[in-house]
Chain A
Amino acid sequence: MSVFDGLRFRKIYSPIHNLDPRIKFVYVISIFVCAILFAQIIPLLLLFLLQVPFVLLAKVQRQWIRSLRGASFLAILIFVINIATSYFTSGYHLTPPIIENAAALTLRFVVLVESFSVFFLTTSPDHLGLALEESHVPYEFAFAFTTAVRFVPVLAEEAQTIMDAQKARGLELEKGGLLKRIRNYVPVLIPLIVSAIRRSLELAEAMESRAWGATKNRTNLYLLKLHRGDFALLAITIGILAAAVYIHFYVSIPTITQLIH
């Protein structure tokens, strides 16, 4: 469940936590776009390193590393599949550019994971809901979204209990071939889904008995306002995006293999 750990918000104070969630989201999406723009290893490496100061400023390095570790399985899978497909399609040749290309595409995935992880680690569900509302998303949807985010750790804990209960009935999750292993998870997934549905129905009843949606025009106690830091981040974002687009169209990026030769 370490992937979830990397997305779980913890209440601490840092300059990054205080930033406006909307601007942070624009930043994350920009990094996302940049990562898609490039398939070369050098710009992707730069994008990867660009996140590190944010992580350190936000003091979430431990959870951040845990989320990267959680993503490592998929990263390795991406690497292996890329190597394998290039190997078979290029007529059974394994050349340095093939490896470099596979590494670049893996790094692209890692960049996506790390930027989203920074966003979710430093943005409270309340702020997120507020940001959605102020972006004119209907309150019902904003609420549903924040509730979903809030329930991720609860579900992770429940999944652990269910796994324990089934292990106590002789289920061995790590036994058998790949297909058997996937099938082993059925006794865990069904109770998890059923209890999530049951929980959501109970939550709906509890909310309705507390007059949810009684007034049409809701007001908020806290309102989001842009501060100096937000404008700075916005400027940085626009700078990164502009530089990325410029480099993509007008600069030829060398690969590491070319640099060595």
Chain B
Amino acid sequence: MIEAIDVHFSYPNRVEALKGVSITIKDGEFVAIMGQNGAGKSTLVKHFNGLLKPSLGKVRADGVETTKTSVAALSRNVGFVFQNPDHQLFSETVEDEIAFALKNFGFAADVIESRVTWALNLLSLTQYRKTSPFLLSGGERKRVALASVLAWDPKTLILDEPTIGQDHEQKEILRQFILQMQTQGKTVVIVTHDVEFVAESNSRVILMKEGKIVADGVGKDILTDPALLELASIVLPQIAQIFTKLSPLGFPKNIIDIYEAKEIILKAWESRTQK
């Protein structure tokens, strides 16, 4: 569980990036944090594993206050995958890259071996085991970065812009994967601009603007509220746009899921043909 209590944060250049943020993320939740550039999304999640410490207020990860321990100790439970994989890849082989964190955390050699194999398999990277990560494509490098964090099986996973530069198929794999993590009781927090990805994922959505939380709730309510989305510079998901335009005909407005949309349209169609 991650708790932020009235967190304020200012960067050394005196930009106040967080102005009193309070949230609780429970175990097993899937949370998407959205908002325009500079809203404080990345600043907020960097507090969850102690990379940034609040200027005022408190952040607790599993009851441990982040100011009282090291990033390395917190990271054991809170895994953080950065947006750009090139900011972390450095090893000669993909295998070494994934083993890096495991060695830092002091896992035994045989455990490291089996965890690396597991992570490679999970993200379909087994064929690149002995390849240099620098020779891989952008999407593959991103998967290596993800595998290198998943390998130590953290309880909470934070993903900063995971869908950027990924094709549709990879996004779908990522989504399935997040859902799978959720069924294992893991907490997943993503920071993203990708409204379609969030709409299809049925997650809790937190909207931020200028260092504050402006909305917090289920995607179905938040992603269908044009006034809220405009605040955060986000457009409605396509399904929601269609249903908003169809609402004068008696269709509900708050639909973002493709399958739900299909059911509603099918029902309307059938009742028309029966008349």
A residues touching B (Cβ–Cβ < 8 Å)? 158, 161-162, 164-172, 186-187, 190-191, 194-195, 198
Cα A164 to Cα B100 with chains together (Å): 15
Contact A187 B100 (CB under 8 A): yes
> B88 touches which one: A186, A191, A198 (CB < 8 A)?
A191
Cα A172 to Cα B72 with chains together (Å): 7
Cα A172 to Cα B101 with chains together (Å): 11
Chain A residues near B148 (CB-CB < 8 A) = 169
Contact A171 B104 (CB under 8 A): yes
Contact B82 A168 (CB under 8 A): yes
Which positions 110-147 of chain B face chain A at CB distance < 8 Å? 134
10 tightest A-B CB contacts, nearest first: A170-B104, A190-B90, A169-B101, A168-B80, A165-B88, A165-B82, A167-B71, A165-B87, A170-B72, A162-B87
* A-side interface mostly: helix
> A164 touches which one: B51, B86, B101, B105 (CB < 8 A)?
B51
Contact B49 A168 (CB under 8 A): yes
User: What are 30 A-B interface contacts by the 8 Å CB criterion?
Assistant: A158-B87, A161-B82, A164-B51, A165-B80, A165-B82, A165-B88, A166-B88, A167-B51, A167-B72, A167-B75, A168-B49, A168-B71, A168-B79, A169-B101, A169-B149, A170-B72, A170-B75, A170-B101, A171-B72, A172-B70, A172-B104, A186-B90, A187-B90, A190-B90, A191-B87, A191-B88, A194-B86, A194-B90, A195-B87, A198-B86
Cα A138 to Cα B108 with chains together (Å): 57
Cα A212 to Cα B51 with chains together (Å): 41
B residues touching A (Cβ–Cβ < 8 Å)? 46, 49, 51, 70-72, 75-76, 79-80, 82, 84, 86-90, 100-101, 104-105, 134, 148-149, 152
Chain A residues near B75 (CB-CB < 8 A) = 167-170
Of the listed residues A161, A169, A171, A186, the one surrounded by the most CB atoms of chain B closer than 10 A to its CB is A169
Query: With A169-B75, A169-B100, A170-B105 given, can you name 20 additional A-B contacts, CB distance below 8 Å?
Result: A161-B87, A164-B51, A165-B87, A165-B88, A166-B88, A167-B51, A167-B71, A167-B72, A167-B75, A168-B80, A169-B149, A170-B72, A170-B104, A170-B152, A171-B72, A186-B90, A187-B88, A191-B88, A194-B134, A195-B86
* Shortest beta-carbon distance from B224 to chain A in Å: 34
Contact A164 B82 (CB under 8 A): yes
Cα A190 to Cα B100 with chains together (Å): 14
Chain B residues near A164 (CB-CB < 8 A) = 46, 51, 82
Of the listed residues A162, A168, A191, A195, the one surrounded by the most CB atoms of chain B closer than 10 A to its CB is A168
* Shortest beta-carbon distance from A230 to chain B in Å: 33
Chain A residues near B71 (CB-CB < 8 A) = 167-168
Chain B residues near A168 (CB-CB < 8 A) = 49, 51, 71, 75, 79-80, 82, 149
Chain A residues near B90 (CB-CB < 8 A) = 186-187, 190-191, 194
Chain B residues near A187 (CB-CB < 8 A) = 88, 90, 100
Closest to A189 in B: B90
* CB contact under 8 A between A169 and B88, given known A164-B46, A164-B51, A187-B100: yes
Chain A residues near B134 (CB-CB < 8 A) = 194
Cα A166 to Cα B145 with chains together (Å): 11
* Shortest beta-carbon distance from B37 to chain A in Å: 16
Of the listed residues B46, B71, B76, B101, the one surrounded by the most CB atoms of chain A closer than 10 A to its CB is B71
Chain B residues near A170 (CB-CB < 8 A) = 72, 75-76, 101, 104-105, 152
Of the listed residues B72, B75, B105, the one surrounded by the most CB atoms of chain A closer than 10 A to its CB is B72
Cα A172 to Cα B104 with chains together (Å): 8
Chain B residues near A191 (CB-CB < 8 A) = 86-90
Of the listed residues A164, A166, A170, A194, the one surrounded by the most CB atoms of chain B closer than 10 A to its CB is A170
Closest to B86 in A: A195
Closest to A162 in B: B87
Of the listed residues B49, B87, B152, the one surrounded by the most CB atoms of chain A closer than 10 A to its CB is B87
Closest to B70 in A: A172
* Shortest beta-carbon distance from A8 to chain B in Å: 12
